[in-house]
Chain A
Amino acid sequence: MKLSVNGVERQLASSPLRPLLHVLRDELGITSPKAGCQQGGCGACTVLVEGEPRRSCLIPLAAVDGAEITTVEGLGAPESLSQVQAAFAAHYAAQCGFCTSGFLVAAHALVEREPEVTREGVLEALGGHVCRCTGYVKIVDAVLAAARGEVDVAAVEPDVEARPDQPEILVPGSPA
């Protein structure tokens, strides 16, 4: 089986019923989708499947064989953030960060689909994402700002260190 992950074709050896979440995290080392509740209720594992937000913990690999998957790494890079990524930075919408990648990919899809989205529309579309730091107000503000194109992406300087080539933590199931 294979997947196109963030534009890169990847051949996979995982078993066909392995959740996409664990294929991404354990076989491919992409740990931005988080293993939260692992029953579809928290939103932390959300990725884009063919551009649509989906719970990667609920999808068996065989069901998306050949599909295009986008994780938060595929939205932008530290030197070229996407609108929603820049908006999250500008509006301080990330606290501990565990829910952030799920929020970002879902918000990215929402903003693409519905640039005129209202505050109520954001609440409805992102209602399946839990932030246990309870930073919802800033998250919703950031998504609305991104939708309205109010964020000067070039002015946002993300505070990131050089990324290692390999993930630093490779313990399966760790919150890395």
Chain B
Amino acid sequence: MAVSAPATEVLLPASREEAIEAFGDGAGVTVLAGGTILMPEIAEGRLRPGRTLLLVRAGLGGVHSGSSTIRIGATTTVAELAELGLEPLASAAANVADLEVRSQGTVGGNLCAPPGREFPRGDLQAPLLALAARVRSAGPGGERVDEVDSFLAGEGTGRLVLELELDGPPDAAAHAVLDRPHAHSYTPLAVAAAERDGVLRIAATGAAPRAVRLHAVESSRDASDALADADPQDDALASAWYRRKMLPVLVARVLADLKEAR
């Protein structure tokens, strides 16, 4: 019996332009930035990448604060976001894993993280939803900007994230999370909210296979509506039953914090 594996071709673009060109239409390309999600997959042989785009030298990191817009490069690390002071993103970032993993993992990778087999991934998706982030990406059809909602709903599949664009700090923000024991790196459940000009956006991590907006709560501001948009799952971190009990608690906490912050 003959076994063959496609040879791995590793590309190391040295600029944003080179990264976009090397990504092309994205077909058959594996994008690797911080490596915190992909490396275990590769090391265990669950993923055998062919063409691999390493973004480490592509110059896609860094935060630029303009007068009305904050632009966050795709390879900005989670640790950098924790220091940014932009809530609820900073609190969510500070809650990711541990110091070393936060210093390696990137916001682009977190945004693109698929649900894990045994636990939720992509803790920053909920705060990015709450902040109504926009995602600039490259791929088929060239460069494009999507609302983070539609990017996560499928528009982003097969695209290379270049940067996130956010409006300045919201009028009020809040973040609540289930506390974890020492060295327990994963977030079972978290809720992020931001309010701007009287409009509330609230989203949850761990309340469904992916991050979800809690639309019913956004209009009613009533924590008892928390489960209307949720689809809690059993996984290695928590049972669906526990998540159903705790989601309204976290939502109530966030709503109370928002009221206080206003």
Known: A17-B49, A40-B185, A127-B183. A59 touches B99 (CB 8 A): no
Kindly state whether residue B220 has any CB partner on chain A within 8 Å: no
Size of A's binding interface in residues, CB under 8 A: 32
For residue A58, CB closer than 8 A to chain B, the reply is: yes
Q: Decide: A127 and B98 in contact? CB cutoff 8 A.
A: yes
Contact B100 A43 (CB under 8 A): yes
Closest B residue to A55 by beta carbon equals B100
CB neighbours of A58 from chain B (8 A): 34-36, 39-40, 101, 104
* CB-defined contacts of A40 to chain B, threshold 8 Å: 36, 39-40, 97, 100-101, 104, 185
In the complex formed, the residue of B with least CB distance to A102 is B100
Interface centre among A123, A127, A130 (most CB of B within 10 A): A127
B153 at the interface (CB under 8 A from A): no
Nearest chain B residue, comparing its CB with the CB of A130: B183
Return chain A residues, CB-CB under 8 Å to B56.
Answer: 63
Find chain B residues with CB under 8 A from A129 CB.
98, 183
- Contact partners of A126 in chain B: CB under 8 A: 99
Contacts of A43 in B (CB 8 A): 98, 100, 183
Asked whether A4 is an interface residue with its Cβ less than 8 Å from the other chain, the reply is no
With A40-B101, A54-B104 already in contact, the answer to whether A62 and B183 are too (CB < 8 A) is no
User: What count of chain B residues pass the 8 Å CB interface test?
Assistant: 26
* Chain A positions within 8 Å of B43 at CB level: 19, 22, 38, 57
Question: Within 8 Å CB of A22, what residues of B?
Answer: 43
Chain A residues with CB under 8 Å of B40's CB are 38-40, 57-58
Known contacts A39-B40, A62-B10, A62-B12, A55 near B101 by CB under 8 Å: yes
Closest to B48 in A: A17
Task: Enumerate the 4 nearest inter-chain pairs by beta-carbon distance, A residue then B residue, closest first.
Answer: A128-B98, A39-B40, A16-B10, A63-B56
User: Can you spell out 21 A-B residue pairs with CB atoms less than 8 angstroms apart?
Assistant: A19-B39, A22-B43, A39-B40, A40-B40, A43-B183, A53-B100, A55-B100, A57-B43, A58-B34, A60-B10, A60-B32, A60-B42, A62-B10, A63-B35, A63-B54, A123-B182, A126-B99, A127-B98, A128-B100, A128-B101, A128-B183
Chain B positions within 8 Å of A, measured between CB atoms, are 8, 10, 12, 32, 34-36, 39-40, 42-44, 49, 52, 54, 56, 97-101, 103-104, 182-183, 185
A53-B99, A123-B182 given; 16 more Cβ-contact pairs under 8 Å: A40-B39, A40-B97, A43-B98, A43-B100, A54-B103, A55-B36, A55-B104, A58-B39, A58-B101, A60-B54, A62-B54, A63-B35, A63-B56, A126-B99, A128-B97, A136-B182
Binding site for B on A (CB under 8 A): 15-17, 19, 22, 38-43, 46, 52-55, 57-60, 62-63, 106, 123-130, 136
